């Protein structure tokens, strides 16, 4: 009979343990990962419910502009009546001593609290996300961003600042970017180059979509019409693919990407070089497919040329090569996010973060004619849609970053279908995200000045 292996003592280092094992040890030790959640809307409610299904991790406190929503989320998670609305540190301390969830309107209160290990931003707003991340980092708390729009705008700066503070900055698991990163890291770890990575588009692609046309569908799907339109008009896809690009050093092959109807089993035949029958003029790109059966999955196309490797891949019914697609058929959105909070706290691990110097940008294309003096609305509304560009192309065309668009004032007229530039619109300098973007631009200029000399 094999000897029974001793279990590591509670509180012992977690090297060599899986995340599930580490969470189990935390639970047995009575030291769960303590989450401070910012935002109790659709995504935040999912997180509260999901964490209630897990071991070794708990919701400690939630900040929302409407604290009543925290109680509603807790009730869905089986914790009806287990929420204290608090306004100061003493109230938060008392709530936590009783093992209850503290609800507040104060971001600062949660980030400063010794009862919180990690912050999850579930606000869904770039400006709010910038404030959440900065406050968390200043308080030396790990930060998990569900706010991809903020990440593609100022994520490089936030990741560098987090590293300086000794904490983890990470995009949340469960969204397409982090799901695709699993495949990219898998392929790279095996020693093969990634030719292309991307996703299947979840909704029909209609670039002129506006909220008024989607009220009924949004209501049926329990969504905000603006959020639904961000998916339909392609803005979300552009944002997610640029997030991947900035974490991997990739670029869109062409402005706006190709977006073919590439079937799941033929992704490698579309996302490979033109001279070998594909669409691409370069390798190391992000893109998406609109074919049925690809969404809600993500993919990475690898180049594997060694004859012996190709022989084995053929035996495994993965095709003749030299290009092979690796496919993850799902992403679980908010339900996977707590895994990032746990990994950051226990292992100091980021599921995904941008490089210090981004490679790509999401600009704005006008959905209608825009007049001088207009104030631009939010992503997914009536004024503009996202459009992916390489950083070099965005700089050359002086594209207005989509994360700075809301609240910007039009200074020149722009026709429907045209790219909005920084000469056409002035961002609102009162916004924190605009201030941080200026700091990021200065950081990048300093980092790249030597390379340009």
Per-residue pLDDT of the chain (453 residues; tens, 9 = 90+): 333 333 344 444 456 899 999 999 999 999 999 999 999 998 999 999 999 999 999 999 999 999 899 999 999 999 999 999 999 999 999 999 999 999 999 999 999 999 999 999 999 899 999 999 999 999 999 999 999 999 999 999 999 999 999 999 999 999 999 999 999 999 999 999 999 999 999 888 999 999 999 999 999 998 889 999 999 999 999 999 999 999 999 999 999 999 999 999 999 999 999 999 999 999 999 999 999 999 999 999 999 999 999 999 999 999 999 999 999 999 999 999 999 999 999 999 999 999 999 999 999 999 999 999 999 999 999 999 999 999 999 999 999 999 999 999 999 999 999 999 999 999 999 999 999 999 999 999 999 986 554
Same domain, 199 and 315: yes
Residue 202 confidence (pLDDT) = 83
280-309 per-residue burial string, b: 16 or more CB within 10 A, e: under 16? beebbbbbbbbbeebbbbbbbbbbbeeeeb
**CB of 250 within 8 A of CB of 159?**
no
User: Do 164 and 283 belong to one domain?
Assistant: no
Residue 11 lies in a domain: no
Q: Give the Cβ contact number of residue 88 at 10 Å.
A: 11
Of 192, 134, 453, the closest CA to residue 322 belongs to: 192
Determine the pLDDT at residue 4.
36
Write the DSSP assignment of 274-305 as a string of letters.
GGGTSSBSSSSEEEEE-STTTTT-EEEEEE--
Q: 270 and 228 share a domain?
A: yes
Write the CATH number for 387. Answer: 3.90.1210.10
Q: CA triplet 396, 403, 129: central angle to 5 degrees?
A: 145
Give the number of domains in the chain: 3
CA 13 to chain centre: 29
pLDDT given for residue 222 in this prediction: 83
368 plus 304 within the same structural domain:
no
Does one domain contain both 55 and 189? no
Full-model pTM: 0.94
Indicate whether 275 belongs to any domain: yes
Same domain, residue pair 375 and 414:
yes
Q: Report if residue 354 sits inside a domain.
A: no
Are the C-beta atoms of residues 447 and 410 closer than 8 Å to each other? no
Closest of 203, 187, 266, 276 to residue 235, by C-alpha:
203
Strand-strand pairing, 251-252 and 384-390: unpaired
Q: Cα–Cα distance between 341 and 147 in angstroms, integer?
A: 14
Q: Say if CB 242 and CB 234 are below 8 A apart.
A: no
264/301 Cα distance (integer angstroms): 11
| Domain region containing 373 | 360-448
Domain boundary residue, one of 347, 375, 407: 347
Q: Is residue 160 part of a domain?
A: yes
Reduced to 3 states (helix: H, G, I; strand: E, B; else coil), residue 363 is: strand
Distance from C-alpha of 81 to C-alpha of 435, rounded to nearest angstrom: 41
Q: Does residue 410 belong to any structural domain of this protein? A: yes
Q: Would you say residue 3 lies in a domain?
A: no
């Amino acid at each position: 009979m094999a000897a029974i292996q001793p279990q590591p003592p509670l509180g012992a280092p977690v090297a060599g343990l899986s995340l599930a094992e580490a969470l189990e040890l935390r639970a047995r030790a009575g030291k769960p990962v303590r989450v401070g959640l910012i935002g109790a809307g659709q995504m935040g409610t999912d997180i509260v419910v999901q964490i209630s299904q897990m071991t070794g991790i708990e919701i400690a406190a939630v900040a929302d502009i409407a604290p009543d929503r925290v109680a509603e989320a807790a009730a869905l998670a089986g914790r009806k009546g287990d929420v204290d609305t608090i306004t100061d540190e003493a109230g938060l301390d008392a709530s936590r001593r009783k093992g209850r969830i503290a609800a507040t309107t104060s971001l600062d209160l949660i980030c400063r609290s010794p009862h919180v290990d990690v912050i999850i931003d579930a606000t869904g707003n770039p400006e709010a996300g910038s404030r959440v991340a900065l406050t968390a980092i200043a308080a030396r708390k790990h930060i998990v961003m569900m706010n991809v729009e903020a990440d593609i705008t100022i994520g490089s700066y936030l990741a560098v600042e987090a590293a300086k503070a000794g904490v983890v900055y990470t995009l949340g698991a469960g969204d397409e970017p982090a799901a695709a990163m699993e495949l990219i890291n898998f392929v790279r770890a095996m020693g093969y180059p990634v030719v292309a990575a991307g996703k299947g588009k979840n909704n029909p692609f209609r670039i002129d979509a506006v909220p008024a046309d989607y009220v009924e569908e949004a209501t049926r799907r329990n969504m905000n019409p603006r959020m639904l339109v961000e998916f339909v008009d392609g803005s979300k896809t552009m944002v997610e693919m640029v997030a991947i690009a900035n974490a991997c050093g990739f670029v869109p092959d062409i402005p706006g990407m190709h977006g073919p109807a590439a079937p799941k089993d033929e992704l490698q035949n579309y996302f490979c070089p033109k001279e070998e029958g594909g669409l691409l003029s370069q390798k190391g790109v992000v893109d998406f497919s609109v074919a049925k059966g690809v969404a809600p999955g993500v993919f990475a196309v690898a180049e594997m040329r060694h004859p012996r490797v190709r022989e084995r891949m053929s035996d495994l019914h993965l095709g003749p090569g030299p290009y092979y697609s690796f496919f993850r058929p799902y992403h679980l959105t908010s339900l996977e996010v707590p895994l990032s909070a746990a990994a950051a706290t226990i292992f100091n691990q980021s599921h995904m973060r941008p490089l210090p110097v981004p490679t790509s940008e999401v600009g704005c294309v006008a959905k209608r004619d825009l007049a001088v003096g207009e104030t631009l609305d939010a992503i997914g509304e009536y004024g503009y849609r996202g459009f992916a560009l390489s950083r070099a192309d965005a700089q050359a065309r002086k594209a207005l970053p989509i994360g700075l668009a809301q609240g910007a004032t039009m200074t020149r007229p722009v026709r429907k279908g045209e790219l909005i530039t920084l000469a056409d619109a002035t961002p609102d300098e009162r916004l924190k995200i605009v201030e941080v973007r200026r700091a990021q631009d200065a950081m990048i200029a300093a980092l790249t000045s030597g390379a340009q000399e």
